[in-house]
């Protein structure tokens, strides 16, 4: 799988993981086959992270040689893990942090196009254009406001 990405959000003890990527061609398929906790996998010792298991396979036939977008969402009841590991075909490919829903980050315009150093506060899980650079967070709204007050112009 190409361009494997994932986000993990914790909302009132529920963990929501969004996984996306690009499949190699039109004959390649993928699906989430298991998760931990709450799936078929059982460990004697907790691995220290929630886990999502994706299986990728090919079907025979004439294939279009183009990248195919793929995504899935997995829900957990999990109030303890602070990171999520993504496995593709039993190989760990990605580890991501879990973001609390009420978390925010502080951004500034990238480069010299922001001479006044004006800052912006956005939810930590919100998509942000690449013209912005994160300078603080994720943190609570109050912590972000304190950072802006101390480090940014109005």
pLDDT at 58: 94
Residue 67: asked if its preceding bond is cis (omega within 30°), the reply is no
Other C-beta atoms lying within 10 Å of the C-beta of residue 45? 5
78: its two tokens: 């999990």
pLDDT at 154 (0 to 100): 59
Q: What is the pLDDT along the chain (154 residues), one digit of tens a residue?
A: 999 999 998 876 788 899 999 999 999 999 999 999 999 999 999 999 999 999 999 999 999 999 999 999 999 888 889 999 999 999 999 999 998 777 788 988 876 665 567 888 887 777 788 788 888 988 888 888 899 988 887 5
Q: Note the pTM of the prediction, 2 decimals.
A: 0.66
Q: Which residues pair with 34 in a beta bridge?
A: 53
């Amino acid at each position: 799988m190409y361009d494997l990405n994932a986000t993990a959000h914790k909302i009132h003890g529920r963990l929501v993981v969004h996984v996306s990527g690009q499949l190699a061609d039109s004959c390649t398929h993928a699906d989430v086959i298991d998760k931990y906790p709450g799936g078929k996998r059982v460990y004697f010792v907790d691995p220290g992270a929630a886990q999502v298991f994706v299986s990728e396979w090919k079907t025979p036939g004439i294939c279009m040689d183009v990248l195919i977008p793929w995504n899935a969402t997995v829900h957990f009841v999990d109030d303890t893990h602070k990171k999520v590991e993504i496995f593709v075909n039993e190989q760990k490919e990605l580890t991501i942090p879990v973001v609390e829903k009420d978390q925010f980050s502080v951004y500034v315009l990238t480069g010299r196009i922001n001479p006044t150093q004006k800052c912006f506060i956005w939810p930590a899980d919100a998509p942000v254009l690449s013209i912005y650079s994160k300078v603080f967070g994720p943190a609570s709204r109050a912590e972000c406001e304190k950072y802006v007050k101390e480090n940014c112009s109005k």
